């Protein structure tokens, strides 16, 4: 499967497992897992690909968006559907995390903190570069925010690691610094 097709299918899979499983008759369990064979049914019909191609997509994904275990598959982050997202793959969280956004959002963010908006969680990255890449989806001149994740954890706020991404229910303004 070519790189371009991988990206195309990966985008569809993100939509399917994060936002609209119902539209394709896919059931997610409480923790966001779909049955691999159900998802393969949809992918076979839509893209003519099988398990080998899906495994390649999952394994080559740079952000490790998907988790495939024991005949089940789920998106690690990014959900809007109501699934249990309070799990982490690693409890050691970096001291600083980053988020980048459109300048128009800044006033509201500094006032109310980072909120999940249409998703279940707020998403952060370990490096400024990755954050800016995310921010470019919203603006061609994104503002970079540094998050004091070390303090959040000390204060008992849950920060979670999912693939290359870090998440929280929300980030109060006290932990934010525009850089």
**C-beta of residue 145 within 8 angstroms of C-beta of residue 99:** yes
Residues 13-32 that bind ligand HQG (CB under 6 A): 14
With CB under 6 A as the contact rule, the residue among 165, 168, 175, 176 that binds ligand HQG is 165
Q: What are the angstrom distances between the C-alpha of 16 and each of 32, 33, 156?
A: 11, 11, 33
Residues 6+ apart with CB under 8 A from 45: none
Cα–Cα dist 96/125, whole Å: 9
Interface with ligand HQG by CB under 6 A: which range of 25-33, 45-53, 106-114, 153-161? Answer: 106-114
Distance in Å, CB of 141 to ligand HQG, minimum: 13
Interface with ligand HQG by CB under 6 A: which range of 46-54, 81-89, 107-115, 149-157? Answer: 107-115
Nearer to ligand HQG, 33 or 125 (CB): 125
Residue 116 burial (CB count, 10 A) = 17
Question: Binding of ligand HQG at residue 64 (CB under 6 A)?
Answer: no
Cα–Cα dist 123/160, whole Å: 10
Cα–Cα dist 76/121, whole Å: 11
Q: Which residue is nearest to ligand HQG (CB)?
A: 101
With CB under 6 A as the contact rule, the residue among 45, 62, 118, 154 that binds ligand HQG is 118
Cα–Cα dist 114/117, whole Å: 9
With CB under 6 A as the contact rule, the residue among 63, 160, 161, 162 that binds ligand HQG is 63
Residue 22 burial (CB count, 10 A) = 11
CA R_g for the chain: 17
| Tokens at 37, concatenated | 């064979």
Interface with ligand HQG by CB under 6 A: which range of 29-37, 90-98, 103-111, 146-154? Answer: 103-111
Interface with ligand HQG by CB under 6 A: which range of 66-74, 87-95, 105-113, 151-159? Answer: 105-113
- The site for ligand HQG (CB under 6 A) is made up of 14, 63, 65, 78, 101-102, 105, 108-109, 112, 114-115, 117-119, 123, 134, 137-138, 165
């Amino acid at each position: 499967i070519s790189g371009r097709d991988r990206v195309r299918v990966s985008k569809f899979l993100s939509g399917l497992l994060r936002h609209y499983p119902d539209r394709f008759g896919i059931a997610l369990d409480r923790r966001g897992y779909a049955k691999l064979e159900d998802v393969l049914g949809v992918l076979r019909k839509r893209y003519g690909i099988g398990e080998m191609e899906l495994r390649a997509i999952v394994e080559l994904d740079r952000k490790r968006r998907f988790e495939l275990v024991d005949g089940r598959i789920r998106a690690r982050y990014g959900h809007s559907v109501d699934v249990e997202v309070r799990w982490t793959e690693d409890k050691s969280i970096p001291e600083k995390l980053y988020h980048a956004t459109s300048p128009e959002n800044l006033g509201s963010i500094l006032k109310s903190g980072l909120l999940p908006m249409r998703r279940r969680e707020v998403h952060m990255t370990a490096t400024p570069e990755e954050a800016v890449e995310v921010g470019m989806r919203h603006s061609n001149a994104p503002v970079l925010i540094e998050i004091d994740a070390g303090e959040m954890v000390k204060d008992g706020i849950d920060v979670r690691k999912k693939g290359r991404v870090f998440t929280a229910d929300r980030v109060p303004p006290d932990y934010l610094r525009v850089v």
